[in-house]
Amino acid sequence: MAFFENFTQVIRQKWLDYVQANRGWLTLQMQQTSVRTPDGGRRPSSFLILGVVNALEPKLSNLMVPFYQLNSDEDALVEVLGLNFDPEMVLDNSEVPTTIEANDDQPLLPDAPDL
């Protein structure tokens, strides 16, 4: 079971990276078609999510046939993969580390004494 939990975390991160890179057109697409999520948000259709994550993670295609044979409900498959959430809410609430550019002329800490 640990394999599957790790695998779904990888898929989740790849999905979030994809959403981040494609926010423009996904926002337009979701104005026409979206699905409500348990977190009070909305997400793209299950077919779109499944298509994207299968393209991003080739190992998932090995699991899709047995998953689909067990339950052909695409919304249930999105739920099993842990992708039934609003990706915009997750991306907007995640802490993005800021990059500090080093400058030889300035100390890292403004009040740091010279050594």
Cα gap 36→94, rounded to integer Å: 20
Cβ-based neighbours of 38, under 8 Å, separated by 6 or more: 84, 85
Q: Tell me if 7 is assigned to some domain.
A: yes
**pLDDT tens for each residue of 67-114:** 888 888 999 999 999 999 999 999 998 754 433 333 344 333 334 444
Q: Is 95 inside any structural domain?
A: no
d(CA 78, CA 51): 11
The pairing of strands 35-36 and 42-43 is: antiparallel
Asked if the structure places residue 104 within a domain, the reply is no
- pLDDT bracket for residue 38 (50, 70, 90): very high
Q: What is the pLDDT of residue 111?
A: 42
Domain membership of residue 110 (yes or no) is no
CB-CB neighbours of 88 under 10 Å: 18
pLDDT at residue 17 greater than cutoff 90: yes
Residues of the domain holding 45: 2-84
How many domains are there within the chain?
1
Report the first-to-last Cα separation within the chain, whole angstroms.
Answer: 53
